[in-house]
Structure 1
Amino acid sequence: MFSIATAPAKQSVGETISVLSNRLSSSTLLEDRRAAILGLRSFAKEYPATVASGALRSLIGSLSSDGEDVDTVKVVLETLIMLFNPNEDSPEASEEIALWLADEFTQRLENITLLLDFLETGDFYSRLYSLQLLSAILSARTDRTEECIFTAPLGISRLVAILDDSREAVRNEAITLLTYLTPSSTEIQKLVAFESAFERLFKIIEEEGSVAEGGRVIEDCLIFLANLLRLNAQNQTLFRESLCTAQLARLLKDVGDAEKQDREMAVWALAQRNRNIYALLAVIRLFLVPGASGTAQNQAEFWRHGVLFHALQLAFNNSFEKEIRAEALSTCAAIIRGNATLQENFAQLRVPSPTEDDSRPTTSGEDEKNSSNGAQLEVYVIDGLLDLTLSIHAPQFFDVRMAACDCLKAYFFNHEMVRLHFLQRAIDGHTSGADETANVLTTLLRSPTTSPASDPYRNWFASVIMFHLVNENPKAKALVMAVTEGDEENGEEVVTSIQTIAAHLMSSVHRGDDERIVIGYLMLLLCWLFEDLDGVNDFLGEGSNLQGLIQLVVKNASSEVHIQGLAALLLGVLYEFSTKDSPIPRKKLHEILMNRMGRDRYVNKINTLRAFTPLRDFEVIPQKRDPLADEKLPSVYFDSSFVDFFKDNYSRLLRAIDRDPGMEISVVTNGVQQGISRELVDSLRAELGEKDRTVREAQERISTLENALGQERAEHRKSKETSTSDLAKAKAAQNSLAQKHDEVLRSLTQKNDETVRSFTQKNDAALRSLAQKHDEALRQARIEQQKIKSELQRQAEEAQKTAEADAVRAQRRSDAQMADLRATISRLEVDLMKANKSKTQELQAAQEKHKKELAAAEAVTSDTKKTVQTLEGRLVAADIGAAELRETLEAAEEDARQLRDKLLATEKSAKES
């Protein structure tokens, strides 16, 4: 009877992974390595750290050694991707694993090159998984991965070429990888662009249904395109030269054409379309960075290809979302800003009227025909922008109104003629009573109560637009200040525009109107009256204006600190630019401010305004409406140009109240200086004092120089007499020395001749003696040479005899060594036969034992999968042991072969000796 064999002990996960790792690294058969990789893959998601620590390098090595086998490459890449993305509930899940894996790949360029090589294969999974693995490595170690791909041979070229792959999954994965690869490295951006990336991206966009009907891949393409163009002047130039600007215009046109078809879209498709359009507009704005070298060229290109026109049509199309329309208007503003030619041509464009009930009279027969046919009325773009800004009151349209206002500001920007033309049209429209709803000046000069109470931004936008018209523009200030209200012939009081706006300001404060209206008036007056002496005098002509501002500053209202700060700032402007001829003289104005407000309160209010969060953090706070607030007004209080104005003049206006009332500010208006320049007076006083000091110093120096000159003259006469006497003595001494010199020279010549003759005689005798000695030395040297030659010949004969004796001894030793080696070979052959027989018996016994154990295990534990896996692991280990025994036999045989080779070499050496 035979007892059933007991079940072997269970293997732990770590032991199993270790066995599989050893099998992968040591197996010689491809099927064995693939089986080990499959086993490792089953553990990769749950035990990524254990698998990576034991088999990562073997997996990477398998990619290199088994790269020709598609199935093996697929399994290896899947396993590596799983290691980067383990299960969230895995006990070994950690961000450090991804960093460790990425380090293993990026520390050797060959590993990244290996993945890039798989991109050249046609296999779907090899390409897809290689791209996914590169994305995972790039996400973990961005800088190092960028460097490896940039350095790898044709690395960028091979990645960009995948964009032509007809399989969407592969192509989309390539777009994703390139998008993550290109946001920061300018050099990589250039390389990608020069691989025809622009043309390939536009081809993909066209194939996928363009911007209006395409899916997420369109948005990804546009984001990728934005990475290539952002702050990269060279790529933008290449984009223009590749005629891709027309492609942008075509995409915008397609958006408008698709909307005209009036087809129903699913909610998700509509949201994706909006994201695509927003991304397209963002790409266009990348070409329009203010101050960049290529902005002017880009603006001209966009105008020439119709980008501006199609963006305007998009902005004035009520079918699109408000955010899209606002972005389109901002894009239009960027296209024309700072370009005088485009600013002038911009006003000639026509757009659909943004208001449903447009009371503006038509300007052409075509408009009348359209109106009679029920078509939407078209208006000039400036009128349309004014309608959007001033005539639409719903809070949901704030972003659109803000963008329309920015477009108007771009229309005025740095173009005085356009400003004056626009302002003259507003004045003409106001005085004639036409187009009141869209007239900036009419809106400002009318009481805020005529506007809807729910829309304080109507007056705010009007103030901002007028701010940009008069800012640093004396001609515009004078033009607006000439506008008056009231008919003097009918006995009505004539009120200037400044006084009217100041009265509306005071009325709004007393009524408690929305703070945005008050802030708008204050911003406009601050800009208008700054460095405008006539405007200051006009404002001070109505004493109640000054009293109202002081009362606003001194009252205790913690909720109005920013309004009080602006009012204090306006009082500072009034005092800074007042004169002794002002309606309220400068000295009296200073007394009023110091007595009723005080310096400390003035400084405190301005500092409090500076700390007001919407002003202090203006650059970081989005000047947009909160989409979560349905009817709530946005927290937008200031214009960007006013914020710059405040920062530039804050220090000057803070110190204004400390200036002496007797000193006036000098202002040059239209080439005419007004007021007294305190700086000029101080400069002249300093210059006069400097000249007085210079004159005194010059007189003192002249007196000193005259005394020194007298002393020099006396010393000169004395030195002249002394020099004459010394000169006579020197001449006499010179003559005496010349006679002595001739005598000495003759004596030396005689002595030299005698010395030469004596030296010649001695030299000849010495030469004869040296010749005799030389002949004797030569004879002795020849005798010595003959002796040495004889001795060397004798030593050579003795050395030959000694060498022959050594050769005989060496031959005897060689014969003895050959006999020893033959005995050793015989002994090793016997040992080899014994080892072969022993190892063969052990192998047969081990195989028989394993078969019995396997049969017993299958009989006892066939119902559990886990036990089967354990036995399979042990079987694998047994196979490995058998393989090791085979390798031991092969090693023994190799040792025997080496000994035979050594014996043959020894015999050959002995024969040669």
Structure 2
Amino acid sequence: MDFFKSGLKTVLGAPEPGHQPSGAETVERLVDRVNNSTLLEDRRDACRALKAMSRKYRVEVGAQGMETLKQVLELDRADSETINYALDTLNNIMSPSQFEEEEDNPQVPMNIGEQFTEMFIKDHHNIQLVLDLLDEYDFRVRLSAVQLLTSLLTNRPKDIQEIILVKPMGVSKMMDLLSDTREVIRNETLLLLIKLTKGNANIQKIVAFENAFDRLFEIVSSEGFSDGGIIVEDCLLLMLNLLKNNSSNINFFKEGSYIQKMLPMFNTPEDTEDPGWSPQKVSNVHCMLHIVRTLVSPSNSAQIVLDCQRIMKNVGLLDSLCNILMASGVPADILTETINTVGEVVRGNVGNQDFIGNVMAPSNPPRPAIVVLLMSMVNEKQPFSLRCAVLYCFQCYLYHNEMSQANLVQTLLPSSTDVSSLTSGQLLCGGLFSSDVLSNWFSAVSLMHALIDNPIQKEQLLRVLLATNIGSSPVSLLHQCTLLLQQTTKLQTKVALLMLLSQWMSECPAAVSAFLRVPGGVGYLVNQTCSNEHDENEYLLQGLSAFLLAICIHFNDDSVENYSKDSLKQLLVKRIGMETFTAKLSEVSKHELYNKAAKHPQLRAKIPAEVLIDYEFCRLFKVLESVLVKSFIVKEEASPEEAGERSSPGGAALEQYKALIRQQDARLQELVAQLDALLQQNQSLQSALNDSLASNSHLKDENTLLKAQVSAAKCVPSTDTTPSQDNARASEYEARIQQLTAEVTRLNDLLRTSQEEKKSAAEELEKLRNDQDDLLVLLSDLDMKVNEYKMRLVSLGEKVEDENPEVPEPNLT
């Protein structure tokens, strides 16, 4: 500290006797010295002193010295030491984190670095100044420039990304630094590029085509692949940024033979004395598994996924993943993520699915890997995340593969094979009827996936018989599932069985008949649907019961005498009512966990209580819901006499439809005019709001500068009039800012109200359009019946006069 004080005395000169200058005064004198000194050494010393003060007096240095420091970057580029001090000072000013020296000063805002960043980037030329300094080979200058850009990106990522995109060679300058032989600069550049590429597809493409993948794999190789340090993880995180949700880069990665280069990352330790999995290695392998999953994610196009899956099998990557799967000593989180990854590498690819189906675990006796995985899934002692991963992997193994689905069902049927060996079907049956709720759910959903789009296996599964009690006749699997549904009190078990039965009985009349023959099955569904419980999960159960009851009616072949399609429909109308039925059915898709499950094939549950709805069931429900509701709408056929009356001149029904269409057409025109007015109002409000925001932003910048000046003025003797003047100016700006803030709030409220009115009008407009479409369809049907009965009357010799006016064409503008 004494050295620092003596350095300041050298730069500023000795203070006047009895007067100790404040921090703001010192900053002001240093800035003045940088501006006015003719000797480079003096400017350099002043910049060094500003750097030293910028951590404790960040507001003062930023407010008074930012413009001066930018001039230094532009005019003193020949002196690397001075440039380095200026860059470091700017980096301190705009640092995203708080310094220790500032902790005792409550007047410094937490986001002060972001505020100064906003001021700095208003002139895009400032970013160009920093980018140009990346060309300097001097170690300190280049490193400081990289660190400053990293701070700017941390504070205002979207703004900096857009600015760099339009700067010529901006990205190229950064990419060149990955080849810098000085590791510190290379490593800092990695952190910079990770922030730069996050969430911006255009920058991701530019970085990828600047040979990013080649350079990154070179670094990963030189660092020792998965055994390397945190630099390997940084390289992989950057790769992940470049590939995530970017089909162009995935294609480039796939066609550039980069998938092969991932193989060394998955080498498992063979030496038993090797400690194997360090924490850093776990992180590195985790990142690489995420990259593999990004390439074969179900959200990618089907062609990209199939191509990547095929390459992964051909180059041996799938084999390496299976080796990790079957290896001993693999950490639980790595094993879990590897299971998820293997699932997505085989999902929907018959060749890869056959490969995983033939993998044998190194157990005694040897068992198929699929069986070993299922043993973990139905074992309640295994970690929850691991069990969820096995379920997803097994679902991927069955996905769009009729052979693997048939093989699973076959293991449940009587056969002449060795019954002593444990099969996947036996494991699932055991889990389905165990006392563990999660095993019930996992097993039911696994069996459900064996039936998707496979009517043959639905009928085959009806042949499965279960021995219940000694001496009693065996019962079918469907019969036992129905009985368990009626007897269990566990929510997750009920939901799982309802989903399984819905998938099983849809498009399968034989399964519907088998269910209808189980005593109490229909009664249970009716009672459950009529239940008046008001819990969210009870609503879900009521909706699922209504859904299964609707399936029983829609896919009924009338083979069960007491439960024909018509009798069940009458029971539904009498006991439940169509309005109540459709309301209960709609509750399913309103459930929070339904909407969560519908987004991705993989179960994304953090706790066991969130295990409730399956993705494939959501797809089934979405397809069948509207079909089932429409099939229950009873269309009463009128007798010829009644139709003749309706077709007579001036028929009441026809006139009613015409009047309704005219009324809705008028309302439609009124809403369109209202919508146009709201759009114009919205545009004017948005313009006013933008003007106010711009003025407010400008005044905030000036206020930041004034605060520093007021702080400096407080330390000047009271005989000076400057403090009162500065305080008056500051008060004036504060009042103006408050006034503009109030105006912005008012305009925001007006804008929000206008948007809500516009939304309401648009919704009503859309509803009216839909109603008109429905009315036009009904009217068309009615006209056809009118013409049909007219022809009948004419053929019987009756004279028919057409006095009906033309129906006006609705205006759907």
**TM-score, normalization by structure 2:** 0.69
Question: Which structure 2 residues correspond to residues 611-650 of structure 1 after superposition, within 5 A?
Answer: 611-619=590-598, 623-624=603-604, 626=606, 633-650=608-625
How far apart are 1:564 and its partner, in Å?
Answer: 4.1
User: Structure 1 143/592 Cα, relative in aligned 2: closer, same or farther at 3 Å?
Assistant: closer
Asked whether the 8 Å contact 1:332–1:407 carries over to 2, the reply is yes
Q: Which residue of 1 aligns with 2:289?
A: 281
Q: Return the offset for 1:574.
A: 1.6
Instruction: Confirm whether residue 419 of structure 1 aligns to residue 400 of structure 2.
Output: no
Work out whether 1:222 is the aligned partner of 2:198. Answer: no
Once the two structures are TM-superposed, the CA of residue 575 in structure 1 deviates from its matched residue by 2.5
Structure 1: distance between partners of 2:16 and 2:127:
50
Provide Cα deviations, 1:499-551, integer angstroms capped at 9, x if missing partner. Answer: 23223333x42xx4x33233222211111112322221222123333234445
Could you list the per-position Cα deviations for residues 293-319 of structure 1 after superposition, in whole angstroms to 9, with x for gaps in the alignment? 422211111111122122222233352
Distance between the aligned counterparts of 2:125 and 2:238, measured in 1?
27
Which of 457, 471, 474 in structure 2 is aligned with 1:476? 457
CA distance in 2, matches of 1:55, 1:332: 57
Q: Secondary structure at the match of 2:175?
A: helix
Render the CA deviation track for 1:106-141: whole Å, top value 9, x for unaligned. Answer: 344543333233333332211211100111122233
Which residue of structure 2 aligns with residue 244 of structure 1? 258
Residue 388 (structure 1) shift: 3.2
Contact 1:525 1:570 in 2 (8 A): yes
Name the residue aligned to 1:372: none
Q: Distance in 2 between matches of 1:555 and 1:404?
A: 36
Letter paired with 1:614: L
Matched residues in 2 for 1:694 and 1:182: separation?
72
Structure 1 partner of 2:349:
339
* 2:380 counterpart of 1:393: yes
Contact 1:311 1:328 in 2 (8 A): yes
Matched, 1:545 2:521: yes
Q: SS in structure 1 opposite 2:612? A: coil
Larger radius of gyration: 1
Task: Give deviations 1:156-186, integer Å, cap 9, x for gaps.
Answer: 2221121222333221110000011112332
Show the 5 A alignment for 1:505-584. Answer: 505-506=485-486, 508-509=487-488, 512=489, 514-553=490-529, 561=538, 562-584=540-562
CA drift at 1:620: 7.4
SS in 1 for 2:249: helix
> Deviation of residue 474 (structure 1)?
1.5
Q: 1:46 aligns with which of 56, 67, 79?
A: 56
Residue type at the aligned position of 2:464? V
Q: After TM superposition, give the deviation of residue 208 of structure 1 in Å.
A: 2.5
Out of 419, 422, 426, the position equivalent to 1:434 is 419
The correspondence of residues 47-126 of structure 1 with structure 2, limited to 5 A, is 47-85=57-95, 87=99, 88-89=102-103, 90=105, 93-94=108-109, 97-99=112-114, 101-103=116-118, 105-126=120-141
Q: How many residues align?
A: 632
Look up the match of 1:383. 371
**Residue 300 of structure 1 pairs with residue 310 of structure 2:** yes
Between the aligned partners of 1:548 and 1:398, the Cα distance in structure 2 is 32
1:67-96 Cα distance to aligned partner (Å, 9 max, x none): 222322222222111111363434563366
Q: Residue 224 and residue 463 in structure 1: after superposition, are their counterparts in 2 closer, same or farther (change >3 A)? A: same
CA 1:491/1:189 → structure 2, altered by over 3 Å: closer, same or farther? closer
Q: Does 1:589 align with 2:571?
A: no
d(CA) in 1 for partners of 2:341 and 2:113? 41
Residues 556 and 57 of structure 1: CA distance in aligned 2, closer, same or farther (over 3 Å): closer
When residues 697 and 593 of structure 1 are mapped into structure 2, their CA distance, relative to the original with a 3 A threshold, is closer
Question: For residues 550 and 441 of structure 2, what CA distance do their matches in structure 1 show?
Answer: 23
The alignment partner of 1:294 has SS state of: helix
Q: How far apart are residue 222 of structure 1 and its match?
A: 1.0
Compute the displacement of 1:558 (Å).
6.2
CA shift, 1:225, in A, is 0.5
Q: Distance in 2 between matches of 1:470 and 1:410?
A: 13
Distance 1:314-1:500 versus aligned 2 partners, 3 A rule: same
Match runs of 1:125-204 below 5 Å:
125-204=140-219
Q: 1:435 to 1:596 in 2, by over 3 A?
A: farther
Unaligned runs of 5+ in 1: 363-376, 663-682, 705-913
CA distance in 2, matches of 1:45, 1:134: 18
CA distance in 2, matches of 1:174, 1:153: 19
Give CA-to-partner distance per residue, 1:609-652, whole Å, 9 cap, x none: 444443344357994564xx7xxx44302211112222333344
Question: Is contact 1:84–1:98 with CA below 8 Å preserved after alignment?
Answer: yes
Give 3-state SS (helix, strand or coil) of 1:470's partner.
coil
Using the size of structure 1 for normalisation, the TM-score is: 0.62
Aligned-pair CA distance for 1:31: 0.8
Q: Is contact 1:49-1:92 (8 Å) kept?
A: no
* Alpha carbons of structure 1 residues 149 and 486: separation in structure 2 relative to 1, 3 Å: closer
Give the distance between the partners of 1:274 and 1:322, measured in 2 at CA.
10
Displacement of 1:46 after TM fit?
A: 2.2
Q: For 1:774-813, what aligned pairs fall within 5 Å after superposition?
A: none
Cα 1:698–1:207, aligned 2, differ >3 Å: closer, same or farther?
farther
Structure 2: where are the runs of 5+ without partners?
A: 1-14, 638-779, 802-813
Maintained 8 Å contact 1:113/1:153:
no
Q: CA deviation at 1:241?
A: 3.4
Amino acid at match of 2:87: L
CA contact (8 A) 2:597 2:604 kept: no
- SS in structure 1 of the partner of residue 358 of structure 2: coil
Report the counterpart of residue 775 of structure 1 in structure 2. Answer: none
Distance 1:466 1:448 in 2: 9
Aligned counterpart in structure 1 of residue 482 of structure 2, from 471, 493, 502:
502
Identity among equivalent pairs (%): 26
Q: Residues 21 and 684 (structure 1 numbering): CA distance in 2 closer, same or farther, change over 3 Å?
A: closer
* Preserved CA contact (<8 Å) 2:408 2:424: no
Of 319, 333, 339, the match for 1:329: 339
CA root-mean-square deviation: 3.8
Instruction: Determine whether 1:15 maps to 2:25.
Output: yes
Shift of 1:42: 2.9
Q: What does the per-residue CA deviation read over 1:400-454, in whole Å, with 9 as the maximum and x for residues that have no partner?
A: 222222222222222334422442344256x86726754336743x6966x3x3x
Question: Could you tell me which residue of structure 2 aligns to residue 206 of structure 1?
Answer: 221
Paired with 2:67 and 2:273, the residues of 1 have a C-alpha distance of 59
Partner deviation per Cα, 1:43-67 (whole Å, 9 max, x = no partner): 2122223222322222122223222
| Structure 1 position 586, deviation (Å) | 3.2
The one of 379, 390, 411 equivalent to 1:404 is 390
Q: Secondary structure at the match of 2:561?
A: coil
Aligned-partner Cα distance in 1 for 2:485–2:314: 45
Q: Which residue of 2 aligns with 1:906?
A: none
Distance of aligned partners of 1:276 and 1:699 in 2 relative to their CA distance in 1, 3 Å threshold: farther
Deviations along 1:777-819, one digit per CA (max 9) or x if unpaired, are xxxxxxxxxxxxxxxxxxxxxxxxxxxxxxxxxxxxxxxxxxx
How far apart in 2 are the matches of 1:222 and 1:576? 52
Distance 1:441 1:478, change over 3 A: farther
State the one-letter code of the partner of 1:411: Y
